[in-house]
C-alpha cells in the first residue's frame, strides 16, 4: 500500500493569518529518489506523495520537487574555499564538468556541466550502477552480497546500511563473530581505534568509494574536480585523508595520470543542499 503524505496546513503553519503576514506561494523540496513524474516514491523509505496534491494542500502556486543530489550539485558553485577540504593533489580546470558523490542513507551521484553562461545539474542515479570490485577480496564480498540482494550496486556497500552489509560480509568471509552493529557503532569504533574489524570495514569503504569516485570522474570528464559529500565522509576527518581513497581514485591504469590531475574535496559546509534548493527556485 502506498503511504501518502498529506500535509496539515495548520500544523505546518502555512496560513497567512497564523504567520502574521503573507503565506509563501512558491517552494522547493529535495528528496532522495528519482523524479520521473507527479508521484514521488522514496527509494529507501515507505514515504510517497503526489506533487500536485501536495501543492494544492499547501496552497502554493509552484512546488518544485528535485532529487537531493541535484540540489546538492547546485550548491557547489556557492561554497566558499573554507567549506571544503582537499584530499590529494590536482587543480580544477575552469569550465570543465564537476562530479559529486556522497554516502549517507544511500549513495548519491550528480555533477555540473557548464552551458556557457550557467551550471547545469545532472539528475543521475549513479549509486545504483553495478559494483566494481578491484581485487579478490572485494569480488568475494560482492558474491556474498549477490546471494542476498541479487544485483549489487555501489550503494549496497557505500552507505550507512552498506557499512552494516560490509561488516556482515567480512564476518562471513573471514570468520569474525557476528555482531548487531549500527553504522554509527561501526564508525565510532573505527575512529576510536577500539575495534580492528570496524577499522577494516571503514578502510574498505573508503577504498571502494575512491574507485567509485574515479569512475565518476572518467565518465563525466570531471576535470573541474570531484566533491565528496553525504553524511558519512565529512565526519571521518583524518581517517579518510589517510585512507586508500585517493590512491584508489587514481588507480585506473593508463588513465592514472589523467586522474592524478583532478582534485577531490570533502565538503565541510553545513547543509549545503539547502542552498541548492533555494538556487533551484531562481
Check if the beta carbon of residue 263 is closer than 8 Å to that of residue 134: no
pLDDT of residue 4: 46
* Contact (CB, 8 A) for 55 and 63: yes
pLDDT at 44: 78
What does the block give as the cell for 277?
534548493
Q: Identify which of 229, 227, 221, 211 has the alpha carbon closest to the alpha carbon of residue 271.
A: 229
Task: State the pLDDT confidence band at 38, using cuts at 50, 70 and 90.
Answer: very high
Tens digit of each residue's pLDDT (9 = 90 or more) over 237-282: 999 999 999 999 999 999 999 999 999 999 999 889 889 998 888 8
pLDDT at 178: 85
Q: What is the pLDDT of residues 60-81, one digit of tens each?
A: 999 988 888 899 999 999 999 9
The mean of the pLDDT values for the chain is 91
Q: Which domains does the chain have, with CATH numbers?
A: 3-69 (3.30.420.40)
Q: What is the pLDDT of residue 35?
A: 86
pLDDT of 11 over the 50 cut: no
pLDDT, tens digit, 9 for 90 and up, residues 84-130: 999 999 999 999 999 999 999 999 999 999 999 999 999 899 999 99
Ranges of beta strands (E only) in 59-170 are: 62-67, 84-86, 98-103, 107-114, 119-121
Per-residue pLDDT tens for 212-228?
999 999 999 999 999 99
**First-to-final CA distance of the chain:** 36
Amino acid at each position: 500500500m502506498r503511504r501518502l503524505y498529506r500535509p496539515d496546513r495548520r500544523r505546518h503553519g502555512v496560513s497567512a493569518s497564523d504567520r502574521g503576514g503573507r503565506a509563501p506561494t512558491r517552494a522547493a523540496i529535495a528528496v532522495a529518489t528519482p523524479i520521473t513524474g507527479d508521484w514521488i516514491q522514496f527509494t529507501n523509505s515507505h514515504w510517497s506523495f503526489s506533487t500536485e496534491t501536495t501543492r494544492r494542500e499547501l496552497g502554493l502556486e509552484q512546488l518544485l520537487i528535485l532529487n537531493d543530489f541535484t540540489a546538492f550539485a547546485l550548491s557547489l558553485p556557492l561554497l566558499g574555499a573554507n567549506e571544503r577540504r582537499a584530499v590529494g593533489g590536482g587543480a580544477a580546470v575552469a569550465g570543465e564538468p564537476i562530479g559529486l558523490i556522497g554516502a549517507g542513507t544511500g549513495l548519491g551521484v550528480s555533477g555540473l556541466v557548464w552551458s556557457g553562461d550557467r551550471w547545469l545539474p545532472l539528475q543521475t542515479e549513479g549509486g545504483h550502477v553495478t559494483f566494481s570490485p578491484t581485487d579478490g577480496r572485494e569480488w568475494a564480498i560482492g558474491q556474498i552480497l549477490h546471494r542476498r540482494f541479487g544485483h549489487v550496486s555501489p550503494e549496497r556497500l557505500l552507505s550507512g546500511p552498506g557499512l552494516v552489509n560490509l561488516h556482515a560480509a567480512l564476518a562471513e568471509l573471514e570468520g569474525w563473530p557476528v555482531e548487531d552493529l549500527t553504522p554509527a557503532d561501526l564508525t565510532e569504533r573505527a575512529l576510536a581505534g577500539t575495534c580492528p574489524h570496524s577499522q577494516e570495514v571503514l578502510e574498505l569503504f573508503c577504498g571502494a568509494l575512491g574507485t567509485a569516485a574515479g569512475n565518476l570522474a572518467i565518465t563525466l570528464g570531471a576535470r573541474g574536480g570531484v566533491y565528496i559529500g553525504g553524511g558519512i565522509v565529512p565526519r571521518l576527518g583524518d581517517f579518510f585523508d589517510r585512507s586508500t581513497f585517493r590512491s584508489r581514485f587514481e588507480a585506473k591504469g593508463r588513465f592514472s595520470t589523467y586522474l592524478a590531475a583532478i582534485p577531490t574535496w570533502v565538503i565541510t559546509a553545513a547543509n549545503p543542499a539547502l542552498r541548492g534548493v533555494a538556487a533551484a527556485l531562481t
